[in-house]
Structures are given as C-alpha cells and as structure tokens.
Amino acid sequence: MTGGLHHVELWVPSLARAEESWGWLLGELGWARHQNWAAGRSWILNTTYLVMEESPALTSDSHERLRPGLNHLAFQAGTPAEVDRLVEAAPSRGWSLLFADRHPHAGGPDTYAAYLEDRDGYEAELVAGSPHSTSY
C-alpha cells in the first residue's frame, strides 16, 4: 500500500535485552519472528516489520526518549483487559510502567493506554480501543 509504513529499525545497545523485552511484547501483540542475523532480529505483522539491531556503527550505548528522535512506538493492544494483562506481565520481561500515578488514563480521560519503558529507555505505548483514538 502506497504510503503505508514499511519498517522501523531501532538500533539498540543490547540485542539480548531487546529480545527479552521487545521480542516478548511483539509476540504478545501478534507479531511473528521474521529474520535473524548475528547483530539483529526482526518481527513482522502483515506487511510491516520492526528491526532491532545492535549495530557495530553505534556511536553511543544509550537511548534517551526525551531527546530529538524517536519518543515511542504505539501499538493497538486490544481491550482494556488485554492492556492490563500486558502491564502485569511486563516487569518480568524488562519493562517498567511510566506515569503510574495516572495509569491507565495518562493520555487523557478518553484513552485507556499503558506507557512502558524498557531497560534501555525505549518506550512502547499500548492502546486499548479504536485504532482511530488518539492518546497524545
């Protein structure tokens, strides 16, 4: 589809940590393992894929979501109960809940979402409900 997202590639400081956190989360959201190579992995859903790579060309070993660049990836996560299930399981996979004092309405009263951060500072937003609702 013209204009559709083809792929996203995240350079990560630890492929092992990315597999633990992102591999679990993507699997729970219906993404399938797609490719494997020494420095990377990818997962695919329909025609879009997500790459995690520990590139030898990295110039830093840390990501800061509050600096210019990628802030987060947001995923449709099903029902509020499914979001809650993922939030409950996430800490054992290397994720922590952001904005816990406002969860699950940190995006506003009309949203039901979880904001998770992995050990390397990457954020995933898990949104319940309509694909046309916004949470920013």
Give percent of the chain with pLDDT exceeding 70: 95
Does residue 42 fall inside a structural domain? yes
Q: What is the pLDDT of residue 72?
A: 96
Question: What's the chain's Rg over C-alpha atoms?
Answer: 15
Q: What band does 84 get if pLDDT is binned at 50, 70 and 90? A: very high
The CA-based angle 99-104-5, given to 5 degrees, is 85
The overall average pLDDT reported for the chain is: 93
Which CATH number covers residue 88?
A: 3.10.180.10
Query: Average of pLDDT values for 85-114?
Result: 97
Whether residue 135 is predicted with pLDDT greater than 60 in this model: the reply is no
For the chain, how many structural domains are there in total?
A: 1
Does residue 1 fall inside a structural domain? no
Q: What is the pLDDT of residue 69?
A: 86
Answering whether pTM is above 0.85, one says yes
Q: What band does 1 get if pLDDT is binned at 50, 70 and 90? A: confident
- Which residue range(s) make up the domain with 68? 7-56+63-127
Does residue 132 fall inside a structural domain? no
Does residue 86 fall inside a structural domain? yes
Does residue 18 fall inside a structural domain? yes
- For the chain, give the secondary structure using H, E and C: CCCCCCEEEEECCCHHHHHHHHHHHHHHCCCEEEEEECCEEEEEECCEEEEEECCCCCCCCCCCCCCCCCCEEEEECCCHHHHHHHHHHHHHHCEEECCHHHCCCCCCCCCCEEEEEECCCCEEEEECCCCCCCCC
Q: What band does 82 get if pLDDT is binned at 50, 70 and 90? A: very high
What is the C-alpha separation between 107 and 93, in angstroms, rounded?
23
Does residue 136 fall inside a structural domain? no
Does residue 114 fall inside a structural domain? yes
